[in-house]
Structure formats: C-alpha cells, structure tokens
Structure 1
Amino acid sequence: VEELLEAGDQTVVGDRGTPLSAGQKARISLARAVYQDADIYLLDDPLSAVDAGVSRHLFEQCIRQALHEKITILVTHQLQYLKDASQILILKDGKIMKKGTFAEFPKPGVDFEDILLKTNEEAEPSRVPDSPTLRGQPSESSVQPQESPRPSLEDAAPEDQDTETIQVTLSLESRSEGKVDFKAYKDYFTAGAHWNIIIFLILVNIAAQVSYVLQDWWLSSWANEQSTLYATAHGKGKEILVPDPGWYFTPYSVLTAGTVLFGISRSLLMFYVLVNSSQTLHKQMLESVLRAPVLFFDRHPTGRILNRFSKDTGHMDDLLPQIFQDFVQTFLLVMGVVGVMVVVIPWTTILLIPLGIIFFVLRRYFLETSRDVKRLECATRSPVFSHLASSLQGRWTIRAFKAQQRFQELFDTHQDLHSEAWFLFLTTSRWFALCLDAVCAVFVIVVAFASLFLAETLNVGQVGLVLSLALTFTVMVPRCVRQSAEAETMMISVERVTEYLDLEKEAPWEYKHRPPLSWPQQGDIDFSNVSFRYSSDGPLVLKDLIPLIDLRKKVAMLGTGILGGSDLVSRLFKLHRPRVDLYVPGVQAASFGSHRYRREAPIIKQEPVLFIGTMRKNLDPFNEHTDEELWNALEEVQLKEAVEGLPGRLNTELAESGSNLSAGQRQLVSFARAILRKNQILIIDKATSNVDPRTDELIKKKVREKFAQSIVLTITNRLRTVIDSESVMVLDSGRRVEFSRPYKLLQNRNSLFYKMVQHLGEAEAAALTETATQVSMDKE
C-alpha cells in the first residue's frame, strides 16, 4: 500500500472504492475482517475475485495460517481447497444436501464438481440454480464478492509485491471564486427563452411600473384639486365650477386596470421563462453527464453528482424564479419612487445620492463574503450525500463490524461542517438586512423633519406623497438590495450546474456515416496496435495489441499485472479512447456511433445489470421480440418454470438491481437477454466468477449451442471455464505474451498459463490438463 498509493494508508477512498482496483478492494475487505481478531469468520467467496496465484497465497497465508485458530466458514466454488477443510457442507436452496470431511466422501479423489452437479439434479431438477423464487432482500457478508482484479503471478512478481497500480485518482470538487460570471446569467436566461421574449419581458415590466407610478401621480393630482376646491369654497365663498368626477375617475380606473393587467402578465411571463430555463439546464446537464466518459464517474463521487441534480437544481426550480421576480418588481418600484421624489421635491436628491452610495458599498462588502460562503455551503453538502450513499450501500458490512457508532459520528462531522457553513450564510444575511434597515430608518427620519421645515413651501398632496414614498422606500429599498444580493448568491447554483454542461464527452452516439443495416455479416475483431490509458497522465494499460480474432472463434482472456480483461472490454465498448483504433467486422470502431457499435456486441458481466421494472422490460427493453421468443430464451437458461410461478409472470416487477432475484438468476436473465439479440460477437466478462458449477456449465453449454457461429470473448479468472476454449490470450502488464490453444500452452512449462494452472494444486492441475488434452484430440 505504501508503494502503490501516494499517501499510503492515508489515501482517501472514494465512492465504490475509487481509486482502488477491484482486486485491491477484495483483499482490503479480507484484511479488514482478519484485523478484527474475531472468534468466528464468515467469508463469502472472497477468493473468486483473484487469480489462481493470488488465491493460493490468500488461502495459505491468510485463511490457513492467520485464521488457523479461528472458526472459519468459507463459501467457495474453488474446489481445490476442500481437502484442507475440517468439514464440508454442500447446500441446495438453503438446505444441507451432503456433509462430512474430505475423507468421508465416497472415495478419495472424488470429483466434487460432479457431486455438486448431481446434487442439483437430484433436488428438483426443474428448478433454477440458487433459488427458484423471488427473494425479499439481498444478502451480503463482511467479505463481499467484488469484480475480478488485475492479478499478479508469483512468478511474474515477488510474492510481497502487488503489481496493480492505481488507475484513477479522486478529484477535488471545483469551486469558483469571486463574482458570478456574466456567462452564467446569459446561459440561465437564454436557456428558457429567445432574446425577443426576454426583451418583451423587460418592456412588460417597465410598462407595469409606469402604470403603477402614473396611478399614484394621478391620485395625488386628484387629491390636490379637491383640496383646492375645498379651500376656495370655504375661504372666499365664491361660486366655483366643479369639474366632472369622471374626469379623474375614468383615467384612474384605466391606470388601475393597466397596473393589474401588466402585473399579472409580467409575473406569469417571468415564471414561464425562468422555470423553462431550469428545465432546459437540467435536461442539458443530464445529457452531458450521460455522455461523460466512465472516468468521470470514477473521479466524482455519487454524492457530488446528486448534489447538483438535487439541491442546485432545486434552487433553480424553487428559489431563483421567485427571487428574480421579487427583485425586478422591487427594483422598478424603487426607481419609480426615486423618480417621483426627485420630481416633486428636488432637494431629496441631496439625500438619495449618498444613500445610494452607502447601499452600493454595503452590498459589495456583503457579497465579497456571502458568495464564497454560499459556495462553501454547496461544497460541504456533497460529503453528506456521499456518506449517506456509501453507508446505505455497505450497511450490512457496517452492522457486521458493529461500526454504527463510528459511521454516525462521521455523518455528524460532515453534517456539522455543512451546518456551520449554512449558519454562517444565514448570519451574514441577517447582518446585511440589519444594516440596510438602520440606514433606511435614518433616511425616513430626515425626510419627515425636512417636510416640517418646508411646510410653508409644500402643499398637502406633496407632503403626503413624499412621506408615503419615503415609507415605501424604507421597505422596498432594503428588500431590493437584499434580493439582488440573494439573486447573485443563488446564481452560484446555476454556475455549478453550467459547469456540468461542458464535461468531456465520450465518442459520439451517432454519426452521419453509418454501417449498412446488414452489418455485421461476419464476426472478427482486429486489434491494430491498440494502446490506451485511463487518463492522460496515467500508465498505459493496453500496449500494442495486434491479434486478429476470426469468425467463430471462442477466445478466453486472462490478465496479469496491472491489466485485467475489463480494460479490453472498456475499449471494445468505446468507454475509453485508445491511442490506435481497432476494427470490428471490417469497420474501424471510431468511424461510427457508439449506440450501433454497442448494440452489436452484448456483454454478460460479473455483476449483471438489471433495472427496476418488469421482467419483460429487462429482457426486451425496446419491445423487439414476441412473448414466445421471451419464453424460449428463458427456457434455454432454465428460468421458464421459475418465472411462470411468479404472480405476474413476465410482468413481475423487479427490485433495484434485481435484488429480489438470486445471484444465479440475475446472471441467467442477463444471458437470456444476450440470447435474444443473436449477435455475431458475445463478450463474457467474468460472468461465472460468483456462480455455482452447475450455472457455469449451463452458460458454457448454451454459449456453444447458441453462439456457434459467433466470436465469443471470455474474460475470467476461472481456469476451468477457459480450459476448453479454442484459444487463450494471456496479457501481462497490458501486453499480449501468449495466444494459443490451452493444450499447447500447457505443454510449455515456462508459459504463464501453465504456471496459473499449477497454482490450483496437483490434482486440479492434472484434471485441467486432461480436459485440455481431450478437447484438443476431439477437435483434431
């Protein structure tokens, strides 16, 4: 660890164990269990995640030596270790079918795999492997099976040296500084409407405010006229001509109706534009994230991504439209109030100019702090989400190690840090509001006393209008300044969202140039000096691969050192870009879109991908097949009877990741989906690492039957799975070192493949050699 990781054991491990490789995660999980010094250990098949050499090392050094005085229950499909067990239990559907010591079984050297197969056949042969019914909850253990590692051989490297390197490093969350860039405002407003609509919105807001000011001015003129009439009538007693009441009432009614109409229109139009902007930006951000390369998800924890899709998007949906609407209305109202005050009492300009300077300085001083405090609050929220996501994902392990208190304290630490930033933001906002209110109170006092001193030069209407506007001023100006500052602070959420609009994109999904609909008519994969790395500063994990895999070839792939077969799968599915490209059925991979490319090469992974939805949707997501074809595919993988027994049959709802299916059932559903596609290329990426021998044999049998005319590329750590392949490709540190028939490689005692087989033990190695010999003789 000290050599591989820059910070040694202080290296921060991110979401899903990033930046550790799968093999490292499996070994760290095992080491964590051993470190607890417990009396009883439950090990749920940890050896399936490593190759033969590492598996032997872990079994001998860890399980046999470090745990030799402990009660250890090991679940495994690696039968070569059974002779070292004190007690052997063979289970079927949760029941013990056979038990005893190695010596107590029928005869020495018994084929345990054959016993396992017969046991499954005797116990209700119509039932599917693992469990025939949907289960309520998935099971986990303190040591969980992980994806296959990038293994190292004892002969390729010293036993105490791990040649796996860290491919990906976590990146810190970016945080801008200073003012919110004008581009964020431009992107926000133009996302919801064209410039013509925005200009029209501005004109409607101005019209609403003009109508509102004219309404007050007309009412003031009406009041002055009535005051003059009253003074004339009672002062001199002369006969006067009273104007028609409609002269004032009609225009006032029109202005009132205009104020209401324009006010409603600007509110509806403003919310329409801003809500539409939020929807558009969310859609663009989602598309950008979906188009991002896999490396992006390795470097950014789930909580960080969810933070922008939840809280930041929530600010755009809920707060920003209301804040901008309030700010625009109050700003125009303040401008109208200031205009009227200057026209009616010009001397108020003397007060308004220094008042404006004070507000400007206060706002600028406040924003220098509040912007960065808000960014800090947003950044400290991400660890809370990440911690919750990882805790929920590993809740079984947390309970097994009785670490609830530690994880609760860690959550409290993250939450306290976020609460501190949020509280700081609230206190700075309250301080700003208090300063604004104090300044406005002083302004009203000065205006009131000034009106008394100038009472002889002002009429009643002017004094009433000025005092009314001054009171309105004290309410609207602080609100306007606060809302303008709040708008800029909330625009940080838009700034964070727009950061995800410019993510690096993977290869285009579609090109104008498309291969013919009949492509691919044949299956072949040509690696034309393919090399690539996970990141621009990372090491090469594939180096100058040249092999040509021909039609109908069944090729198995084993990796050592820093390379696992999954690196090649990443390239085959265009998840990463190589230094030199490859050709699939005669067409350069980079010359057409990823959608079509990926559709033609189904993959069965170690952890099958199932979605929430019906069994039908998981088998046929695009409704391309009939029910008869779906049932036939299920029958091929021996799942038909199990699915027929479900309440909804094909319409039965699956839980998240198919957790209400057993591991074997999930794998068989994934294989049935591949059978339906009938492609020329099939990739099996460690699909049988965590399944029982019967399911392994079933998948191998159906691959030979259903994909006889196709290329089948199998990536696995199970040597028994690859021993009957037509060819085996061995990659060491990213470079192809061996590529031949298993039988031929086993004849070379210096080959890496031969050394892998020998790590399984004498009896298992002899059995595999015999199988390879028989397969070679049959083909000849």
Structure 2
Amino acid sequence: MQDFTAFWDKELRTPTLQGLSFTVRPGELLAVVGPVGAGKSSLLSAVLGELPPSQGQVSVHGRIAYVSQQPWVFSGTVRSNILFGKKYEKERYEKVIKVCALEEDLQFLENGDLTVVGDRGITLSEGQKVRVSLARAVYQDADIYLLDDPLSTVDAGVSRHLFKQCICQVLHEKITILVTHQWQYLKDASQILLLEKGEMVHKGTYAELLKSGVDFASLLKKENEETEPSPVPESPTMRTQTSSKSSVQSEQSSTALLKDAAAEDQDTENIQDTLSEERRLEGKVGFKTYKNYFRAGAHWSVIIFLILVSIAAQVAYILQDWWILNWANEQDTLNIMALGKGNKTEKLDLNWYLGIFSGLTVTSLLLGVTRSLLALYILVNSSQNLHNKMLKSILRAPVLFFDRNPAGRILNRFSKDIGQMDDSLPSSFQKFIQTFLQVIETSRDVKRLESSTQSPVFSHLVSSLQGLWTIRAYKAEQRFQELFDSHQDLHSEAWFLLLSITRWFTLRLDIIYFIFVSLVDFGSLLLAQTLNVGQVGLILSYALNILVFPWCIRLSVEVENMMISVERVIEYTELEQEAPWELKFRPPPDWPNNGMIALSNVNFKYSSDGPLVLKDLTTDIKPGEKVGIVGRTGAGKSSFIAALFRLSEPEGRVWIDKILTTEIGLHDLRKKMSIIPQDPIVFTGTMRINLDPFKKHTDEELWNVLEEVQLKEIIEELPDKMDTELVESGSNLSVGQKQLVCLARAILRKNQILIIDEATAHVDPSTDELIQRKIREKFAQCTVLTIAHRLSTIIDSDRIMVLDSGRLEEYDEPYVLLQNRDSLFYKMVQQLGKAKAATLTETAKQ
C-alpha cells in the first residue's frame, strides 16, 4: 500500500484513511491496532478493493481469504460453510477443525459438522461463528489472510489456541494482516501498525514501538503478559520479525483461479444453501380462507349487502333481455295480424317500451357501479387488515420462529403474496364475482409450489448481500451466482408449469365453447318452425354471451390460485405467540427498585424439541451486585440472559425483586432491564432516534451521554451531526462504535438492572477500561451482569459465575475462586500467562 487515501463518504471533511504506506511479504504477520473508529476494518476493505482510493494505490499479489469482524455464515451445514466450494479432503479438513478449536463444539452439535446452522448461523454462538469463518479461510489455503478481530469473541484459552496453533503455525508461510485488540499477542507480530483517526501513527516491530515513546507503550503495559512457552514447539519456519517498506498495485485473480473454482464446483461437497422446506398446504382452498379474507375487509352485514346488490344487478341485467324479448314478441304478433288482414302494421307505444328499457339499463348500471366500488373497498381493506394482522403476529412471534424461518421466507409473504392481494386479486374477483367458482386441483397445487419456491430466492439474495465482501474476497461470485440461478430456475419451472396448465385449460374451454355454439346454431335452424323470432334472437344472444363463460371460468381458476396468497398470509396471522405483553397484574412503577434476581431449578431451551441449554440452574444475585459471567464459548452465557428476558419460556422460577417474572407481561419485564447485546443493534434513522427513540431526553442530555462514551467528537464531525442518517444496520459506523451507541442508550434508560453481553469485545483495551469506569460510575447502585471473554473486564466484580455446558459450576468472589487451584476460573486465568494471572489475582484481592 503506497500513500493510500480514501473516503467512504466524499461529503465528510476528513478521509477514512489517509497517507498509509506499508508492505507485507510472505511469512510476515502485520498486526493492526488502534482505538475504536481508527480505520482498522477500512484498511482491510481497501486491500479487498471494497474501498476505492482517492489517492495512492494498493497492490495485491495472490488469493485472499477474509474473516469479517461480524462473522458471516450462510444457511447450510457447518461442513459446507467451511469447505465453501473446495473439495473435501478428510486429513486436511480434520487438521483445520483442530487448529480452529472446533472439535469439542462439533461433538455437542446434534449431527456434528453436518448440522444445518440456519439463516445467519442462528444456531451457533458468536464465538462458534467466528471459528467457522476462520476455518473456512484456513481451508482455502490462500496466499493472503485478512483477519478482522477474530480473537475478541472467544474466551482467553481459545483465543490463545487460535493465535498459536492457527495464526502462528498453520499460516506461518502466508501473508497475514490481523486486526486485533488482544495486545498481548503483539510480540509475535513481524510488524505492528498503529492507526488513529485513519492515519498511521507508528509502524515497526514490537521493540521499536516500545522505544518510540508514544502512548502505545503505557497501553501495552496494562494488557501485556509475560511470554509463555508455547505448548507447541517452535518451528524454524515460524514467522520472522522483519521491518519493511511498501509499494503496492491491485491485481484481480487470474483466469486460471476462476477455472479452478469452477472445477471444484463439480464436487459433491460444493456450496449448498440448505434451508428447511417451507410448509405447503394441500388440497382445495378451504371455505375458512374465503371467510377470513372477506371478514377481514368488512362486517358480515356489508358482505351480505354486497351479495344482495350483486344479485339485484344481475336481475336488472336479465330483465333488460326479457323486456327486449317481450318487446320483439309483441311487435311480431302485430306484424302477423296485420299481414293476415292485409292492413297496415300497427305500431307499439315506443315511449313506454323505451322508457322501461332505459330505466332497467340505468338501474343495472348504478347497481353494477355500486357492486364494483363496494367489492373494491372490501377487498383492498381486507388486504390492508391482513397485512397489519400478519405484521403484528410476526412482531409477537417467539424468537424460535425467526430461528427456523429465514428472512427471505418472511419477505416473500410481505412482498409477493401481499402484492397479489393488492393488485391482481381485487380486479379478478370482481370480474367473476357472479360466476360459480370452479375447483381446478392441479393448477392450485402448482400455484402453492410456485409461491413456496420463491422464498429460497429471497433468502439466498439476503444472505449473499450480508456476506458480499466475504464472497468477493474468496472469488466465489460465480458459485453463488450459479446457486442463485438454481433457486431461480426451480421457481421459473413452477411458474411456467402454472402458465402452461392455465393456457391448456383455456384452450379446452374454447373448444367446448365452439362445439356448444355450433350445436345451438344448427338447433335453431332445425327448430325454426316452433320458435318465434324473439325466442331465436334470445337463444342466439345468450349463446354468444356464453363466450364470457370460459373467460369467467379461467378467472375463477386465477382467483383460486391467487387465494393461495391469502392462505399463506392468513397462516402467518395465526403464528404461535409469545406470552402477553401486558397482564392484569402490573408491577409497581418503580419496580425493580432493588435489582435482586433469584433463579430456582431453571431449565431453558429455545424450542420444545430442542436440547437443554441451561440445566437445573439455581442461584441468586443480590441487589446492586456486580456479577461477571464467564465460560467457554457455547457454555450458556447468552442463554442465561435469554431466560431472564423470556425469549423462550424457561422451566422453573425466576424472581426479580420478589416478583415472579412469569406473572407479569413481557413489556413490563423487558423494558425494566437494559441490555448491551453481543451484536449491537442500530436502527435505520438518525443518531438522535437511535439514542432516544421515544424522545424523552433533551439535546444536552444526548450530547453529554455521547461525550461519556467518547462518541461526541465523531458525531460532531458528521455533516448533520446528531441528525445524520445511519444507513441499514448502521454500516457507516464501526462495530466498536455501534457497541458504544448501545452503551449510551443504556445509560439514558437508567434501569436498575443492566446486562452487558460481550459489549466491549470489539473495542480496544483503553476504551474498554473507560467503558467499565463509566458503568461503575453510572450504575453504582444498580445490579450489573457482565458476560465477557476478557477476564480483566470482570475480575473486579463482586462475584463470578462460571458456566460450563449449561450448568452452573462455580459461583463465588473472584479471589476465593482463584485460591482454589482446581477451579475452572483459576485455570482460565492461568491460561493468560504468569504475569497477567498475577495482575488479575492482585486486582481480585483488592
């Protein structure tokens, strides 16, 4: 990289990256460090080619493997996520599983590495998703590895294992750029790049940076640890520390690489986007569906009125034909009488006959317009109400529903199905509302198939957009395009089959109509002597009107098919719901004023048929107590929080300030606890709305809280300051900045119970220390539960809760646990090294 400067947004006054120059050669490890928002992830984006330069150049020679800060996995098996299109080689695969510390995790999964991870990898913990992403990168055997802070979301032991076994050994011959906040590993880096506000503050080896006199040295003293002998013997081919300068120019992967990728696609272990099959009803659309559809649009009295108006309109239309028949017969009778007597034909009273006919025509017209407007009102209103009912039902659905149904499946109901109900169904319904609804079984089932095959198209598209940078980094665009094409082809096949059936049905109706009209015409000729003129005219008129009948039958089939959309929407309006948001019993307004939490024999699982993730948990948390929750990745730490929030109903009892949580509504429970989640949630909208969505705070309070979490300067540099729009998922903020936004939001809420779920995983140690200090100041009288992999974050807690495989193994004061050499907590601390362990022990003693 040579004199590189780039902007994510040209409107911003300061560039994202400015004047960066460095070179990394094979066998070197470049560690990139710096505070939150320094531009570390943007640096990797520049190497990937996702951040275009406004000045300077980047040169990349070789294939890239990329591990994003927020790990991306697609809806397939663990194995297909790791292989990512490569051929399955057992020995190599098992080695990758071992160095990425996935062996134990795979043993706990129901089907091992053939377990389907679900949409967005929902069945895996954050640490497991990171290691699957890292395993994918290692298995690719690329030339360049870009690792965006993969060590922050795993516990200390796993972090050390990944660094020593994976990064320092398996990747020792590769070019590796590691963004990290785990500064204890910087001694092993060939070069260290220190960034601040997008600029390179310093570059050099560990020793050079210690001598440079920058703040870096003091920061390292806090986090550093004594070098421990590696459990794996040093190899002469381990990385060597070198310092070098750069020159660099971007190169696309060669055609040969693309050919290799295409060849690998032929293997049976190709990328497989595995989704659970969408539920599809069978048989005819039931009367209940029609009833619910019309009932959603209007009251029964309005629907009955519509039926009466429709009947009246049809009667008026038929009376017109009858009146013309009567008129013609009367005139024919007069003509015959005049012909027999040889007199002049007597004329009928035209005003009388014409007046009655005009009256019937106007009546028919008015009734027809009334029928159409009333039907349109009912059908459009029905579509709107069902949409709102479905949205409300989905918002009330338990978390398990979103685990089992990918986003594309839900989007399909809100887009394709609601679109048909809004556009096609009302007009088609009006056109055949007076025609008997025929049941055409084949086309109906094909329509159900067509609707369900569109969901995987949406799901694959959403998943691919979420992991777009990863897909591009691995040059897997062709493979994912082919996968998308296969989903689209399946949908197109069902769509074409539906069209073919409809057209064939129309052709058969036209043939029947032709035969029928021919028989009527010849029959009229044969019966000419027994029929009068009016009767023949009426017969021929209705025979021609039969032309509308095949069209109406075709419309009835289309409506029956479109009612499948109504059926699918109604299915989502009847989803299993969470417990009521509010119950008759409401806790006092100041509840909980102490913050005491007690659990008794709590078992917890995310689904009725799923495994227990918390087992027989009994514990208590005193008012105002600060509790640290630790354990290996997947031990049940986040599930403990899910049980408190009743994301799924736990077995056993949970009390908060002596009130049983199952006896109050979910809103009353959840709004009284603040959480800073593992995956920071930022909404599309302004920074002001994100901090204060209910507009309860003044601008001064908002700016003060931004200053407390060190975001004030960053927000002030934005064009519209606090009114700057944050894009979808807050992607114009770094992950660390989004975690700080969530912290600011929690400080403003001022709840008595605060839950922190790995909230400082993606911030540097100095910012982590600041956050912990602010939490101690702002929540001094509150109960605080902190889940963290950085033991320094929770070592000063009042008590430590150690979870393992869903069970509470240890729960005591940190210093007491450290005195027991057999305790799990003691072993976790010792894995950090002697110096760090001594520091933590001293902190716990205080």
TM-score band w.r.t. shorter chain: 0.7 to 0.9
Select the residue among 654, 660, 664 that pairs with 1:582: 654
Structure 2 letter corresponding to 1:38: A
Q: Which residue of 2 aligns with 1:157?
A: none
1:442 corresponds, among 501, 515, 525, to 515
How far 1:117 moved relative to its partner?
10
Taking the TM superposition and a 5 Å limit, the aligned residue runs for 1:497-512 are: 497-512=569-584
Alignment of 1:273-352 (within 5 A): 273-331=378-436
1:67 is the counterpart of 2:171? yes
Q: Is the 8 A contact 2:338 2:346 kept in 1?
A: no
CA distance in 1, matches of 2:347, 2:381: 54
Offset from partner CA, 1:587-629 (integer Å, 9 cap, x none): 1111111112111111111322111112211111111122222
Q: Distance between the aligned counterparts of 2:699 and 2:819, measured in 1?
A: 49
- TM-score normalised according to structure 2 size: 0.79
Check if 1:553 corresponds to 2:625: yes
CA contact (8 A) 1:303 1:384 kept: yes
Which of the residues 152, 155, 159 maps onto 1:55? 159
Distance (Å, rounded) in 1 between the aligned partners of 2:443 and 2:141: 50
In the TM superposition, what is the alpha-carbon distance from 1:181 to its structure 2 partner? Answer: 2.0
2:626 counterpart of 1:521: no
> Structure 2: how far apart are the matches of 1:642 and 1:41?
30
Q: Provide the rounded CA distance (Å) in 1 between the counterparts of 2:306 and 2:678.
A: 56
Alpha-carbon distance change, 6 to 745 in structure 1, aligned in 2, over 3 angstroms: closer
Secondary structure in structure 2 of the residue aligned to 1:252: helix
Which residue number in structure 2 is paired with residue 162 of structure 1? none
Aligned-partner residue type, residue 664 of structure 1 = G
CA contact (8 A) 2:626 2:785 kept: yes
5 Å-filtered alignment, 1:378-393, equals 378-393=451-466
TM-score of the two chains, using structure 1 as the length reference: 0.85
> For residue 94 of structure 1, what is the aligned residue in structure 2?
198
Distance 1:607 1:21 in 2: 11
Match of 2:280 in 1: 175
Aligned to 1:762: 834
Give 2:798's match in structure 1, choosing from 710, 726, 735. Answer: 726
In 2, the alpha carbon distance for the partners of 1:9 and 1:668 equals 35
Write out per-residue CA displacement over residues 425-452 of structure 1, whole angstroms, 9 at most, x where no aligned residue.
1001111111111011100000000101
Contact 1:18–1:170 (Cα < 8 Å) also in 2:
no
Higher relative contact order (CA 8 A, sep 6+): 1
Determine the structure 2 residue equivalent to 1:337.
none
- Which residue number in structure 2 is paired with residue 372 of structure 1? 445
Pairs aligned (count): 692
The 5-angstrom pairing of residues 31-50 of structure 1 reads 31-50=135-154
Quick check: 380-389 or 744-753, which moved more? 744-753
For 2:172 and 2:756, the matched residues in 1 are separated by: 36
For the 8 Å contact 2:153–2:758, the answer to whether it is kept is no
Q: Which residue of 1 aligns with 2:724?
A: 652
Separation of aligned partners in 2, 1:241 and 1:736? 108
1:496 aligned to 2:568? Answer: yes
Tell whether 2:525 aligns with 1:415.
Answer: no
Q: Distance in 1 between matches of 2:389 and 2:185?
A: 53
Q: Letter of the 1:741 partner, please give it.
A: E
1:465 to 533, 538, 554: 538
TM-fit CA distance, 1:715: 0.7
> Contact between 1:88 and 1:100, CA under 8 Å: does it hold in 2?
yes
Secondary structure of 2:433's partner?
A: helix
For the 8 Å contact 1:523–1:551, the answer to whether it is kept is yes
What is the deviation of 1:311?
A: 0.8
Shift of 1:747: 1.8
Amino acid of the structure 2 residue aligned with 1:98: H
2:696 is the counterpart of 1:624: yes
Instruction: Identify the residue that residue 394 of structure 1 maps to in structure 2.
Output: 467
- Counterpart selection for 1:480 from 552, 561, 576: 552
Map Cα deviations across residues 421-476 of structure 1 (whole Å, 9 max, x no partner): 10001001111111111011100000000101111112222111111110111x12
1:663 equivalent to 2:735? Answer yes
Aligned-partner SS, 1:695: helix
Write the distance in 2 (CA, Å) between the matches of 1:113 and 1:535: 50
Superposed CA offset, 1:225-247 (max 9, x none): 33444454566442665342221
Give 1:23 shift. Answer: 2.7
Distance 1:45 1:644, change over 3 A: closer
- The offset of 1:209, in angstroms, is 0.2
Q: Is 1:242 the counterpart of 2:347 in the alignment?
A: yes
Q: Kindly provide the amino acid, as one letter, of the partner of residue 711 in structure 1.
A: T
2:739 maps to amino acid: Q
Counterpart of 1:106 in structure 2 is 210
Shift of 1:113: 7.3
Shift in CA distance, 392/268, structure 1 to aligned 2, threshold 3 Å: same
- Matched residue, 1:218: 323
Which sits farther off after the overlay, 387-396 or 622-631? Answer: 622-631
SS where residue 46 of structure 1 aligns? coil
Q: Deviations over 1:701-757 (max 9, x none)?
A: 110111111011101111111112221110111111111222222222111111111
Which position in structure 1 is the counterpart of 2:784? 712
Question: Could you report, residue by residue, the CA deviation over 1:562-611 in whole angstroms, capped at 9, with x for unpaired residues?
Answer: 42321011111111111112111221111111112111111111322111
Whole-Å Cα distance in 2 between the matches of residues 218 and 377 of structure 1?
Answer: 48
* Separation of aligned partners in 1, 2:363 and 2:494: 45
Match status 1:453 vs 2:526: yes
The one-letter code of the counterpart of 1:323 is S
Measure, in 2, the Cα distance between the counterparts of 1:639 and 1:561.
Answer: 30
1:77 aligns with 2:150: no
| More displaced stretch, 700-709 vs 594-603 | 594-603
CA contact (8 A) 2:517 2:544 kept: yes
Q: Structure 1 residues 497, 49: CA separation in 2 closer, same or farther (over 3 Å shift)? A: same
How far apart are the structure 2 equivalents of 1:650 and 1:113?
A: 35
Measured in 2, the distance between the counterparts of 1:194 and 1:71 equals: 70
Amino acid corresponding to residue 79 of structure 1 in structure 2: W
Unaligned 5+ runs, structure 2? 1-77, 79-105, 224-273
3-state secondary structure, aligned to 2:464: helix
Query: Pairwise CA RMSD of aligned residues?
Result: 2.3
Secondary structure of the 1:106 match is: helix
Q: Summarize deviations over 1:86-116 as a string: whole Å, max 9, x none.
A: 2222221222223322333437999967336
**Runs of 4 or more above 6 Å deviation:** 107-111, 116-119
Q: Which residue of 1 aligns with 2:636?
A: 564
Q: Partner of 1:560: helix, strand, or coil? A: coil
Instruction: Please tell me the residue identity of whatever aligns with 1:248.
Output: Y
In the other structure, the counterpart of 1:406 is 479
Are the structure 2 counterparts of residues 662 and 204 from structure 1 closer, same or farther at C-alpha, using a change threshold of 3 Å? same
> Could you tell me whether the CA contact under 8 Å between 1:571 and 1:578 is conserved in 2?
yes
Cα distance between partner residues in 1 of 2:512 and 2:359? 37
- Deviation readout 1:98-149 (Å, 9 max, x if unpaired): 3322333437999967336999xxxxxxxxxxxxxxxxxxxxxxxxxxxxxx
Q: CA deviation at 1:185?
A: 1.4
Contact 2:393 2:574 in 1 (8 A): yes
Q: Is the contact made by 1:41 and 1:72 (CA closer than 8 Å) also made in structure 2?
A: yes
Find out whether 1:258 has 2:363 as its counterpart.
yes
The alpha-carbon deviation at position 277 of structure 1 amounts to 1.3
Q: Matched residues in 1 for 2:738 and 2:122: separation?
A: 25
| Contact 1:380-1:414 within 8 A present in 2 as well | yes
1:394 CA drift (Å) = 0.5
Once the 2 structures are TM-superposed, how far is the Cα of residue 508 of structure 1 from its aligned partner? Answer: 1.2
Contact 2:335 2:345 in 1 (8 A): no
Residue 418 of structure 1 and its aligned partner are, at CA, apart by 0.5
C-alpha displacement at 1:8, in angstroms? 5.0
CA contact (8 A) 1:170 1:298 kept: no
Question: Secondary structure in 2 aligned to 1:540?
Answer: coil
Contact 2:183 2:220 in 1 (8 A): no
